Amino acid sequence: MVQTIPARDISLYELEEKFGLQLATDTNFFTEWTENLPTLTDNEKQAIARVQSNYLNLNKHRLISEEAVKMVVLSPLLDLAGFYQLPFEIETETSVEISAEDESIIVKGNIDVLVIQKRFWVLVIESKSSKFDVMTALPQALAYMLDCPNPAQPTFGLLINGREFVFVKLIQQEHLWYARSYALSIERDSELHQVLSILKRLGELILKIIS
């Protein structure tokens, strides 16, 4: 009997057991979040400081909802990274469905935000409220990334709860391998700068792949 699971309820264990997903331990597997990052301009740093200030001010009053996280933190970062301009596009609530090799499990869900360039997925984004640990979004994001239409190329993801950011890389070749960054905090200037630099770097990498 086939079991249908909402993507928000999938676990890492189920992804490993049913889909063959494996955590890469090679430190060279995911260098895109640390190496060859573009330097930010003064204007970009000022804009980043504004994002930080807005989040910290709102967070004083109450925990920020998932929708507010998208509006206050995620949206300006995507703008600064250039993802609202050609050749990139943004999709929201993109439907995803994946099935295990033995077809015992089907996982369905909707990607919060998807950055694309033609048919190439640039970035799969899963957002949570600030009351949740950012890592709770990892299994859900990985499930979405498994449905990438270009499995020959790496797929990148971003987990965000407003306070923290985690980048993810997935490769689908002979085996399914993934790795993640450590959590970068909006409360530390250098790490928030790194978040924007990584976003810009991922955009550059995709453009090189398709050129």
* pLDDT at 1 exceeding the cut of 80: no
Number of C-beta neighbours around residue 90 at 10 A: 15
How many residues are present in the chain? 211
Strands 21-23 and 120-127: unpaired
Model pLDDT, residue 106: 93
> What pLDDT score does 208 carry?
83
Residues 106-140 have pLDDT tens digits of: 999 999 999 998 778 999 999 999 989 999 999 99
In the predicted structure, residue 2 carries a pLDDT above the cut 90: no
- For the chain, what is the mean pLDDT? 93
Residue 72 banded pLDDT, cuts 50, 70, 90:
very high
Rg (CA), the chain: 17
Decide if 146 contacts 132 (C-beta within 8 A).
Answer: no
Contact of 166 with 184, CB cutoff 8 Å: yes
pTM, entire model? 0.95
Which pLDDT belongs to residue 61? 85
Amino acid letter, residue 49: A
Preceding omega of 87 cis (within 30 degrees of 0) = yes
Instruction: Please state the φ and ψ torsions of residue 14, each to the nearest 5 degrees.
Output: -65, -35
pLDDT tens digits, residue range 161-178? 999 999 999 999 888 999
Number of Cα atoms under 13 Å in the Cβ half of residue 144? 31
pLDDT at 151: 87
pLDDT band at 102 (very low <50, low <70, confident <90, very high): confident
pLDDT at 117: 87
